[in-house]
A = this chain, B = another copy of it.
Amino acid sequence: MSTTTKTLDFQTDPTRYRHWKLEVRPPIAELKMDVRENAGVFGGYELKLNSYDIGVDIELNDAIQRLRFEHPEVRAVILSSAKGNMFCAGANIRMLGVAGHGHKVNFCKFTNETRNSIEDASEFSGQRYLCAINGTAAGGGYELALATDYLILIDDGNAAVALPEVPLLAVLPGTGGLTRVVDKRKVRRDRADIFCAVEEGIKGKRAVEWRLVDEVVPSSRFKPRVEEKALELAALSDRPVDAKGISLTPLQRTITADEIHYPHLEIRINRTEQHAVLNIQGPADAAPASAKDAEAQGANWYVLALARELDDAILHLRFNEPAIGTLIFKSSGDSSLAMSHDHFMNSAADDWFVRETRLYWKRVLKRLDLTSRTLFALIEPGSCFAGFLAEVLFAMDRSYMLAGNFQDDPRPEATLILSAGNFGPYPMSNGLTRLQTRFLGEPETLVKAATLIDQPLNAEQADAAGLITAALDDIDWEDEIRLLLEERRSFSPDACTGMEANLRFPGPETLETKIFGRLTAWQNWIFQRPNAVGEKGALKLYGTGQQPVYDRERV
């Protein structure tokens, strides 16, 4: 098996699921994990005991998305297992043992994002998740449960929750487990320390006492109690009763050697220069006339369509193009049409479908923030970085804007337009908007930016308002950009990743930033240490019966 040469596809749909069963019985849906052992993405390992690889999580991610868009009638989701005594054994260890470092890191990042999207649905979308832990939930299995609002553990004398990574594998729980245990569930730290040392986990009353689960219920009463609690959670939902779902139709996508085409996004990869240009096409039409109209457009509505395409593209680049170190964002289109969609979203924000679409745009932007590639934007004549599209600029490490025009270029001068959308609906994982984060040191500039809403700003105005990194004129443009890209390419990819992870998230930290900033970085470190991945490391020897041999020095 090779985890770096196999191309991963993040598109799927329920008819193709091999590992999950989705039952919809409004107002509840049940998502049952039923991993097919011999259907690992890479081959060479068996997905026993509901353990998972990226393929299982791609389906989970898809199911969560579809529940939000296709099932407005679903107000609570039960996560459960279709296997007997095992809820989920976590990430497949043999897969981890043979996977390359890059795949492990990206795998953990994606699974984390998927779990965050469960919390996002519970918090903002009126679709609360409940975990029916009907068998042991170990490692990533318990971490999956931790992402839900309410954990009910079956009391059958066997089933336990566990984070056995440290004693068993010499790595950390990689999907937010440590952070969620002490920060979300607020387990006392010495108890958390014990919990993480007990390979077989904790069950029964003590699991409740220690706040590891919310309830334990005997086998005989388990099913009805889960159903009852799900209905209770469903009753809290603000989802409309009469809405019809939006079908997430298959993405139109063409992937060739160095290009990827979607209807609203074109990607050209320059392998020599190791960068990719992502050109966002602005909308061809004005916004829907009403929420009903937007619902009629469904997956064809520009904003949702673009969100899906960009989301897919980021994941594709992360997993399938690891050597493409810099992503260059451009746009082309009519800013006034983009603004029309922005205004529409603002005015129809209460509609369930518009709300879902905005929440999705928020998550796509977060996925961009968390992508360990250098992010540059080039704002050129004919671009349409306006409102929600301008938000892409504020996710960049740097943005350069052309002042004036190129010679003989008929396209209109580049402008940037702010909207209310840049001041609230798309917060970063640190809880602040990108402009709040940008202007942490100069709140007066943030106040001033709010007065510029709806005004097309040219390069000088955008520069004066602090909204771009620099304005360049047409004489310097080509050389300057070329030099900047060459410079970036001369740096160590690892150093860039570390630097960007530290500069992008100033200000407050949240559960999410802790998971991605603190926990992930420690996990990455451990994933490289001989004690885990060396010839005598725990991850390598797992299942062989041999004991790992550790270098005993602490660093």
Q: Does A441 lie within 8 Å of B502, measured CB to CB? A: no
Point out the residues of chain B lying under 8 angstroms from A373, CB to CB.
554
Bound-complex Cα distance A178 to B324 (A): 24
Known: A190-B398, A491-B166. A105 touches B441 (CB 8 A): no
Bound-complex Cα distance A324 to B442 (A): 47
Partner among B169, B496, B521 whose Cβ is within 8 Å of the Cβ of A166: B496
Point out the residues of chain B lying under 8 angstroms from A522, CB to CB.
497-498, 501-502, 521, 524
Q: Does A538 lie within 8 Å of B193, measured CB to CB? A: no
Point out the residues of chain B lying under 8 angstroms from A518, CB to CB.
501-502, 509, 517-518, 521
Partner among B105, B171, B194, B323 whose Cβ is within 8 Å of the Cβ of A552: B323
Point out the residues of chain B lying under 8 angstroms from A191, CB to CB.
469
- A32 shortest CB reach to chain B, Å: 31
Judged by a CB distance under 8 angstroms, whether A172 is at the interface is: yes
Bound-complex Cα distance A96 to B211 (A): 44
Point out the residues of chain B lying under 8 angstroms from A387, CB to CB.
none
Point out the residues of chain B lying under 8 angstroms from A188, CB to CB.
438-439, 441-442, 466
Q: Does A167 lie within 8 Å of B437, measured CB to CB? A: no
Bound-complex Cα distance A495 to B193 (A): 12
Point out the residues of chain B lying under 8 angstroms from A182, CB to CB.
440, 502-503, 506
Known: A373-B554, A517-B517, A531-B493. A498 touches B172 (CB 8 A): yes
Q: Does A178 lie within 8 Å of B502, measured CB to CB? A: yes
Q: Does B194 lie within 8 Å of A398, measured CB to CB? A: yes
Point out the residues of chain B lying under 8 angstroms from A491, CB to CB.
166-167, 170, 197
Judged by a CB distance under 8 angstroms, whether A189 is at the interface is: yes
Bound-complex Cα distance A182 to B439 (A): 10
Point out the residues of chain B lying under 8 angstroms from A513, CB to CB.
509
Known: A190-B397, A372-B555. A529 touches B179 (CB 8 A): no
Bound-complex Cα distance A192 to B499 (A): 10
Point out the residues of chain B lying under 8 angstroms from A531, CB to CB.
492-495
Point out the residues of chain B lying under 8 angstroms from A437, CB to CB.
189
Bound-complex Cα distance A4 to B553 (A): 10
Judged by a CB distance under 8 angstroms, whether A300 is at the interface is: no
Judged by a CB distance under 8 angstroms, whether A220 is at the interface is: no
Judged by a CB distance under 8 angstroms, whether A490 is at the interface is: yes
Bound-complex Cα distance A69 to B330 (A): 58
Residue of B nearest to A4 (CB): B553
Known: A488-B197, A502-B518, A554-B102. A495 touches B190 (CB 8 A): no
Point out the residues of chain B lying under 8 angstroms from A550, CB to CB.
492-493
Point out the residues of chain B lying under 8 angstroms from A493, CB to CB.
531, 550-555
Q: Does B166 lie within 8 Å of A495, measured CB to CB? A: yes
Bound-complex Cα distance A494 to B538 (A): 11
- A12 shortest CB reach to chain B, Å: 25
Judged by a CB distance under 8 angstroms, whether A461 is at the interface is: no
Point out the residues of chain B lying under 8 angstroms from A494, CB to CB.
170, 525-526, 529, 531-532, 555
Bound-complex Cα distance A513 to B532 (A): 26
Contact with B along A519-555 (1 / 0, CB 8 A): 1011111101101100001100000000010111111
Residue of B nearest to A538 (CB): B492
Residue of B nearest to A484 (CB): B197
Those 6 A-B pairs whose CB atoms lie nearest each other, nearest first: A186-B441, A521-B521, A170-B492, A509-B509, A182-B506, A498-B522
6 contacts between A and B (CB under 8 A): A170-B492, A190-B396, A192-B503, A493-B550, A518-B518, A522-B524
Other A-B pairs beyond A172-B498, A179-B502, A322-B553, 17, CB < 8 Å: A166-B491, A178-B502, A182-B502, A182-B503, A186-B441, A188-B439, A190-B469, A193-B503, A194-B469, A197-B491, A322-B555, A323-B552, A323-B553, A494-B531, A501-B518, A502-B522, A525-B525
